[in-house]
């Protein structure tokens, strides 16, 4: 993490721990331990799975052992790579489209009270329609190719983004708006220098949700009608009881969502450093002249 | 330009303002008249909720009076509007500071204090950066330019807010209980800093406070406002040199006279 560069008091009070994630030894250790325990548990569960399947001689078309899944992944790596690339593209394009639409919609709802009154209840109501229900329609309208999945992902993603944007903008401090007004700020300056920075923390919460949702949307789209992608691969392998391939597809799917989530989190830390600081971290009061 | 009076910086005449409340309309300002010369330091003293802040809001152009006038350097103030996306308007020659520091949490101290000039233009910001650097030293903030407001103490934040107000480069400072939330020691330091700054930069200051001590220590003149509806009860000149004020017996006498004025009408009622 980037630490603000300003002098810290030479004699900090005893017992003040450095902020988590700092480059000190204690910070490195805390970060290391955050990964260590979940990974240990995962390894343990995988080991039990392997032993259980072997000991009980479970047929591979019911539950393959982890070693078999791994062997399938390596053996058919070209197939998995092709389908993973397609799904990744759908997730990224759908996510980007959904975020763009969500951002614009959130802004429009904020700046137009009439639009908010008319559209907001409809938006909430529309979220009660299961996305599975419209997936077949999207295949009819946008075809078996990339576009029906992109639209599917975008439809799931835009809602949390629009909501986060609207809620974030509504948090703008009225006293700050008045301050900007007395300083002669233009409406554009109030948007870029006050309203949008205020909305960013809420917006990032929405972005984290959409990183997960986008993957769900793409896979649902593929289940309903597709000729390629990890969702398609899962479905066709499942029908032929090639369960190791189904597990392989799931393993390929996981890093897409996790990677997006990691990217959003990294961006948040870079763009919103003030969110991760507090006065206690640096005990600056000690150096008040 | 014709010479009208002795060029008042702030000229308020028969100002009235009322608001809608739960029990109908209530009068906040009821015919307030006052005048402040350029370079003068005037305190506006009165009980909480006596319309002092409303008067400042009107002077800052954030609110419109029902009747009467509020002029700043002879120009009618107002017209800022309060609706979202209000149209751009002529800039008031005032800088406004409140009890809340109102620093932007996502900006470092350095970027916070330069907000005023930055909103005018990039060139303005560049022009004022060297002045800002010099003032940071005077405000004892030079070590914290890269800190975010959340990392600063209340006193530091308020000093930063005062510095930002100064760097707006306006001739008139409207200060709305700027030190009200600080502890006594920090408040004392900031009051001295404000006095120094006022002398150094030749500003006109209108300070709203409910602290008699503060008003007497800092200003040329103390204007006492009544409880709601706000009216000017009395004006007191403070003809004592600033350095002598903390210990002078005249200061004590003036303080108790002002307190009597503040309490007077309530005691009768």
Give me the percent of chain B exceeding a pLDDT of 70. Answer: 88
pLDDT of residue B51: 85
Q: What is the pLDDT of residues B102-158, one digit of tens each?
A: 999 999 999 999 999 999 989 889 999 998 998 998 888 989 999 999 999 888 999
Residue B235 confidence (pLDDT) above 60? yes
pLDDT of residue A275: 84
Residue B94 confidence (pLDDT) above 50? yes
pLDDT of residue A227: 85
pLDDT of residue A278: 58
Task: Check CB contact under 8 Å for B104 and A285.
Answer: no
**Cβ atoms < 10 Å from Cβ of B112:** 24
Of A186, A194, A279, Cβ closest to residue B88:
A186
Q: Which residue of A has its CA nearest to B112?
A: A193
Q: What is the pLDDT of residues B103-118, one digit of tens each?
A: 999 999 999 999 999 9
pLDDT of residue A14: 33
Q: Which residue of B has its CA nearest to A170?
A: B84
| Bridge pairing between strands B221-225 and B232-237 | antiparallel
pLDDT of residue B6: 54
Q: What is the pTM of this model?
A: 0.80
Q: What is the mean pLDDT of each run of 10 residues along chain A (289 residues)?
A: 40 37 66 87 95 91 92 93 95 95 95 92 87 87 91 92 94 93 91 95 93 91 89 93 93 93 92 76 45
Q: What's the ipTM?
A: 0.86
pLDDT of residue B61: 84
Q: Which residue has the higher pLDDT, A227 or B50?
A: A227
Of A5, A175, A288, Cβ closest to residue B153:
A288
Q: What is the pLDDT of residues B2-22, one digit of tens each?
A: 334 456 888 888 888 888 887
Residue to test with chain A: of B84, B113, B151, most A Cβ within 10 A: B151
């Amino acid at each position: 993490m980037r630490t603000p560069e300003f002098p810290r008091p030479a004699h900090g009070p005893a017992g003040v721990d450095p902020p988590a994630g700092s480059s000190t030894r204690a910070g490195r250790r805390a970060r290391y331990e955050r990964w260590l325990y979940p990974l240990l548990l995962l390894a343990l569960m995988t080991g039990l799975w392997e032993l259980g399947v072997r000991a009980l001689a479970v047929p591979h078309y019911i539950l393959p052992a982890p070693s078999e899944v791994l062997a399938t992944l390596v053996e058919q790596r070209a197939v998995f790579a092709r389908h993973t690339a397609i799904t990744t593209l759908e997730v990224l394009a759908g996510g980007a489209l959904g975020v763009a639409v969500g951002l614009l919609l959130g802004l429009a709802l904020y700046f137009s009270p009439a639009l908010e009154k008319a559209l907001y209840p409809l938006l909430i109501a529309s979220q009660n329609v299961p996305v599975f229900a419209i997936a077949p329609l999207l295949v009819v309208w946008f075809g078996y190719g990339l576009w029906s999945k992109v639209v599917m992902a975008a439809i799931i993603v835009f809602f949390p983004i629009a909501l986060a944007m609207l809620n974030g903008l509504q948090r703008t401090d009225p006293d700050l708006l008045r301050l900007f007004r007395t300083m002669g700020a233009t409406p554009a300056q109030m948007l870029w220098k006050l309203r949008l920075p205020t909305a960013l923390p809420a917006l990032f919460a929405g972005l984290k949700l959409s990183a997960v949702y986008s993957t769900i949307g793409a896979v649902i789209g593929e289940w309903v009608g597709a000729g390629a992608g990890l969702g398609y691969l899962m479905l066709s392998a499942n029908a032929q009881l090639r369960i190791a391939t189904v597990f392989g597809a799931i393993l390929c799917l996981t890093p897409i969502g996790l990677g997006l989530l990691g990217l959003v989190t990294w961006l948040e830390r870079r763009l919103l450093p003030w969110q991760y600081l507090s006065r206690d971290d640096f005990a600056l009061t000690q150096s008040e002249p | 330009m014709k010479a009208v009076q002795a060029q008042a910086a702030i000229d308020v005449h028969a100002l009235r303002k009322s608001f809608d409340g739960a029990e109908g309309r209530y009068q906040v300002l009821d015919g307030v008249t006052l005048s402040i010369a350029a370079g003068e330091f005037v305190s506006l003293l009165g009980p909480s909720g006596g319309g002092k802040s409303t008067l400042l809001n009107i002077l800052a152009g954030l609110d419109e009076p029902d009747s009467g006038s509020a002029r700043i350097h002879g120009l009618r103030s107002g017209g800022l509007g309060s609706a979202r996306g209000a149209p751009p308007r002529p800039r008031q020659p005032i800088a406004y500071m409140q009890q809340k520091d109102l620093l932007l949490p996502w900006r470092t101290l350095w970027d916070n204090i330069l907000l005023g000039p930055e909103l005018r233009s990039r060139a303005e910001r560049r022009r004022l950066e060297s002045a800002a650097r010099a003032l940071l030293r005077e405000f004892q903030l030079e070590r914290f330019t890269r800190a975010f407001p959340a990392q600063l103490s209340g006193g530091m934040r308020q000093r930063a807010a005062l510095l930002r107000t100064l760097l707006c480069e306006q001739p008139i400072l409207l200060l709305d209980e700027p030190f009200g939330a600080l502890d006594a020691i920090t408040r004392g330091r900031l009051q001295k800093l404000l006095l120094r700054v006022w002398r150094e930069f030749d500003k006109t200051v209108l300070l709203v406070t409910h602290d008699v001590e503060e008003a007497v220590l800092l200003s040329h003149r103390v204007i006492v406002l009544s409880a709601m509806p706000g009216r000017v009860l009395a004006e007191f000149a403070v003809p004592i040199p600033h350095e002598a004020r903390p210990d002078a017996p005249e200061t004590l006498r003036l303080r108790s006279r002002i307190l009597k004025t503040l309490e007077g009408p309530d005691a009768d009622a």
